[in-house]
Amino acid sequence: MARYLDVHPDNPQPRLIAQAADIVRSGGVLAAPTDCTYTLVCRLGDAHPLDRIREIRHLDERHHFTLICRDFSQASHFVHVDNAAFRAIKACIPGPYTFILPALKDVPRRLQHPKKATVGVRIPDSVVVRALLDELDEPLVSTTLLLPGDDEPLVHGWEIKERLDRAIDAVIDTGEGSTEVTTVVDLSQGDPEVIRVGAGDATRFD
């Protein structure tokens, strides 16, 4: 059964954040809220929890996973960022954007797009997520918690636990979440290309 962690959205309890980090370090799959939707997250280097996430969401090898990072400095260890991309990203973070960028060698091949060798990067504006990333001192692999057959992502921690109680290891509940997804911008080919319009202002990339 999944652990249920009732975390304050503005002042996350260190004890609960430490518990969540321990679950991730031990190879667990965690449902965590961000500044947009809930996400499924796991540790970067672990293949088994990633396979579990693929199974939960019925994802194929073409799915773009996202690295959630605490800041740009951490992200730069995993993706190549030229000067133009750097300026575009710095103007938007932290915030509701996912950027598609060329992956560096520290990103496992199973996380990269099979043909483009790219990966998504996200730096959310979330106190709870930042606390978890600080505790882990490494990025999280993530994907939106949108279950097969559902039209919108789940927004309630209790419902996530109810539906995924035996499929994941823990749920962080900070109150009602959002159904808004991130705005996805592909910066891997030079000029920005908006792949998906979401919560972030897409017009800045026109």
Q: Give pLDDT, residue 2.
A: 96
Say if residue 45's pLDDT is above 90.
no
CATH of the domain at 184: 3.90.870.10
Say if residue 62's pLDDT is above 80.
no
Q: Give pLDDT, residue 196.
A: 95
| Structure confidence by residue, pLDDT tens digits, 160-173 | 999 999 999 999 99
Say if residue 206's pLDDT is above 90.
no
Residue with the bigger pLDDT between 137 and 63: it is 137
Structural domain of 100: 3-205
Residue with the bigger pLDDT between 156 and 46: it is 156
Say if residue 46's pLDDT is above 90.
no
Q: Give pLDDT, residue 109.
A: 86
* 144 in Cβ contact with 59 (< 8 Å): no
Q: What is the rounded average pLDDT of the residues 76-82?
A: 93
pTM of the model: 0.93
Counting the structural domains of the chain, the total is: 1
Question: HEC states along the chain?
Answer: CCEEEECCCCCCCHHHHHHHHHHHHCCCCEEEECCCCEEEEEECCCHHHHHHHHHHHCCCCCCCCEEECCCHHHHCCCECCCHHHHHHHHCCCCCCEEEEEEECCCCCHHHCCCCCCEEEEECCCCHHHHHHHHHHCCCEEEEECCCCCCCCCCCCHHHHHHHHCCCCCEEEECCCCCCCCCEEEECCCCCCEEEECCCCCHHHHC
195 CB neighbour count, 10 Å cutoff: 15
Share of the chain above pLDDT 90, in %: 85
Say if residue 134's pLDDT is above 80.
yes
